């Protein structure tokens, strides 16, 4: 993974709020300051729908998502 700190922020944010989609969890996180459109586009680029929940992703998918978001920053 290119940015390990970003990956761990994404993982924490995806599990901080119960019963939230991954996009909403990341959007509501105080640690991640990204527009929801960028978050949603990154999740879709990962090949997952925007309604996916964080617990459905593998560690490899979190690493890939982190790299996708990092490249867009």
pLDDT at 17: 82
The average pLDDT across 10-35 equals 90
pLDDT digit string, tens, across residues 24-47 = 999 998 888 899 999 999 999 999
pLDDT, position 19: 84
**In Å, how far from its chain's centre is CA 2?**
15
Tokens standing for 65? 């998502």
Q: What is the mean pLDDT of the chain?
A: 92
Q: What is the mean pLDDT of residues 51-60?
A: 93
Q: Rounded to whole angstroms, how far apart are CA atoms 73 and 17?
A: 24
Does residue 9 surpass a pLDDT of 90? yes
Q: What is the pTM of this model?
A: 0.89
| Alpha carbon 20 to chain centroid, angstroms | 12
């Amino acid at each position: 993974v290119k940015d390990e700190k970003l990956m761990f922020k994404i993982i924490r944010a995806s599990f901080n709020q119960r019963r939230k989609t991954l996009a909403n969890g990341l959007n509501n996180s105080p640690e991640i300051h990204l527009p929801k459109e960028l978050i949603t586009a990154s999740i879709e680029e990962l090949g997952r729908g925007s309604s996916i929940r964080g617990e459905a992703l593998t560690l490899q998918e979190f690493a890939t998502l982190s790299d996708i978001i990092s490249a867009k920053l």
